[in-house]
Amino acid sequence: MKKRYGPQFELPQLSRRQFVTGMAAGAALLGMPAGLAASTPRAGAAPQTLRGNQFDLNIGYLPVNYTGRERTAVAVNGSVPGPVLRWKEGQTVTLNVTNHLAHDTSIHWHGIILPSNMDGVPGLSFNGIKPGETFTYQFQVNQSGTYWYHSHSDFQEQQGLYGSIVIDPADADPVAYDRDYIVLLSDWSDESPHDIYAKLKKEGHYYNRRRRTAGDLWREIKAKGVAATWRDREMWNEMRMSDRDISDVTGYTYTFLMNGQSPDANWTALFRKGEKVRLRFINSSAMSIFDIRIPGLKLTVVAADGQNIEPVTVDEFRIGVAETYDVIVEPDGDSAYTLFAQTIDRSGFARGTLTSEPGLRADVPPMDYAPVLTHRDMGMGHGSMQGMSGMGGMGGMAGMAGMDHSQHDMGGMDHSQHDMGGMDHSQHDMGGMDHSQHDMGGMDHSQHDMGGMDHSQHDMGGMDHSQHDMGGSAQGYSMHGGRPELGGMQGVWFTNNLGRAGHGSNSPIVHLPSEYGYGVDMRSSMPMNGLHDPGIGLRDHQERYGRRVLTYADIRNLTPTIDRREPTRELQLHLTGNMERYMWSMDGIKFSDAEPLMLKYGERIRVTLVNDTMMTHPIHLHGMWSELETGDAEYIPRKHTIIVQPGSKVSYLVTADALGRWAYHCHLLYHMPGMFREVRVV
């Protein structure tokens, strides 16, 4: 239903504060006092678009007001977001970046394939940009599509230092459209990002305002009985986890922005009758994963992470931090539509309007139900019992009694007392899971605090790990792939059981000794393949709402695979953490204690990421494409950032065609200090 509002419009049934911050779930739900009000945020002008091949970018402070309180942001050319940079494929661009801050800064060109010394990561690519200094980036643009840029220093990305990039193709664009818009999503907090991080370090669920109440307990007892409810609660208490801990930082502190404007400011884009509109969605947030839909419109996805794909039509898609998706929509004339981006935990939303005329707006839909974690998200593999291939799962904790998990590696949790008989696990591949010989001690890294993102002071090479007992080879497989000079001490390298390109990894799940310590609170025994899984909170949307949700399995590259070689090695890396202590790592080892992952120039490898946590992690490899194995080796999609669902695994191929030192990390800003590796191509 379309509605016309005047300049001071206010949606019914929402307080102004709720609408300003996108917290339509209500103040009471988030533990906030009723009637909280805020003045209208200052709606900034749309970011300037800069075209050509030479750019001057100035980084400085900017007063902003999104919630009724003035704060200071970090801006590019006096704008948050920074200006849109419009390049042309095949040209050489020169970008002079001047630092007007009191601290070092940097810009990383996210998803752009370029020389390592132009990548913009202090401590790996260069030394950073000192206050008052100018650094010149220069590189040839060898790709087209939708990308973005952001700071890789401290927490400046959270403070506003980000912007979008559109690269026009050298040849005719295979996507037909009449006009295009950038839809840049981000999260803003009036709190200092250092204060946010400090609170998380003290209490990992500090911003979670959906923890269980006495009322929830009573409802569960009525639904499942005392015994089943007790068993479920006992399990979660043993893990010191909450099944409602979906996002670390939520709408309790965040205001969610679309192109730098709050839901109340309502960023608006116009169209004419009969036009095809290209919407370039970019998730430039620090910590927020969004689920996007436009009620009343089908979304034809035509590009993922800047790369053209076979068009696929859906009603909804999830966009992880740092991912980009281009969609084509065909709106009716004399209509208005709401661009609705709700967060994964349903604590808030960003919103805008696509309309045929100014002043014409559409209803803002209610947010979907808040998701709850299940056994499936622990990597126990039971989602397959319903034969739903990622669309069903267990659907909740109810009915889990009577399943024997006493042999499952759940991060040290003892379930031997749970009455779980009657479950047939004969089809589960449990190979490679005997860890009885692993040395579980000696991995104390409690004093390493890697707050922030500037690695310029860290010596990345030559670290002495002689005291780390890594247990030798893993389960009879070579940790170094028979090439110790290339393997490093982190991760498990396989040279057999690789499988054919396009079909993913069939190697056993191997947990290194470094995963057995207080820095890791769970390990996935039987992680599901994440390709067909739309993700927590979306799995039942087809059945419940009739909305088709995009999955990675739907993505097929528009043009044939370039490198058709089979991988010669496989690297299995585990995404690990301890939520209670807010410690994040890979293979249980923080970045400060990790050696580089060594690749030989020109080789082709498979990377298998296993998520041993109950959080969703967007993983970004700098400098090289991550070629997602979706099952069709002839048209493998290329991405720069890949979501790994809780308790799942995903495999992709990498051609090590870029010499130098590269960052490889989770793109959740407050996970990055620990869940980070250097990749060195020699």
User: 581: domain CATH number?
Assistant: 2.60.40.420
**CA gap 418, 400 in Å, rounded:** 10
Q: Are residues 32 and 62 in the same domain?
A: no
Q: Are residues 129 and 269 in the same domain?
A: no
Is there a domain that residue 86 lies in? yes
As for how many domains the chain has, the answer is 3
Query: Exposed (0-12), middle (13-18) or buried (19+): which is 37, by Cβ within 10 Å?
Result: exposed
Nearest to 145 by CA among 129, 119, 169: 169
Per the structure, the complete domain to which residue 156 belongs is given by 49-173
Taking 50 as the pLDDT cut, the residues of the chain under it are 1-19, 21, 23-45, 382-452, 456-489
Is there a domain that residue 440 lies in? no
Residue 229: the pLDDT is: 59
Residue 15: the pLDDT is: 44
Q: Are residues 112 and 34 in the same domain?
A: no
Is there a domain that residue 369 lies in? no
Is there a domain that residue 357 lies in? yes
Radius of gyration of the chain (CA): 24
Tell whether pTM > 0.85.
no
Q: Are residues 138 and 286 in the same domain?
A: no
Q: Are residues 520 and 653 in the same domain?
A: yes
Residue 22: the pLDDT is: 58
Q: Are residues 494 and 622 in the same domain?
A: yes
Residue 497: the pLDDT is: 67
Question: Which of 335, 362, 389 is the C-terminal boundary of a domain?
Answer: 362
Q: Are residues 671 and 523 in the same domain?
A: yes
Residue 386: the pLDDT is: 29
Is there a domain that residue 384 lies in? no
Q: Are residues 557 and 626 in the same domain?
A: yes
Q: What sign for the dihedral angle of Cα 195, 198, 203, 204? A: positive
Question: Which of 139, 173, 207 is the C-terminal boundary of a domain?
Answer: 173
Nearest to 463 by CA among 585, 590, 620, 570: 590
Nearest to 327 by CA among 353, 298, 350: 298
Residue 245: the pLDDT is: 78
Is there a domain that residue 439 lies in? no
Q: Are residues 162 and 290 in the same domain?
A: no
Residue 532: the pLDDT is: 93
Q: Are residues 622 and 510 in the same domain?
A: yes
Residue 505: the pLDDT is: 84
Question: Which of 173, 204, 220 is the C-terminal boundary of a domain?
Answer: 173
Q: Are residues 346 and 494 in the same domain?
A: no
User: CB of 347 within 8 A of CB of 25?
Assistant: yes
Nearest to 674 by CA among 444, 442, 448: 448
Q: Are residues 564 and 663 in the same domain?
A: yes
Residue 210: the pLDDT is: 67
Is there a domain that residue 382 lies in? no
Helix (H) or strand (E) holding 214: helix 214-224
Is there a domain that residue 339 lies in? yes
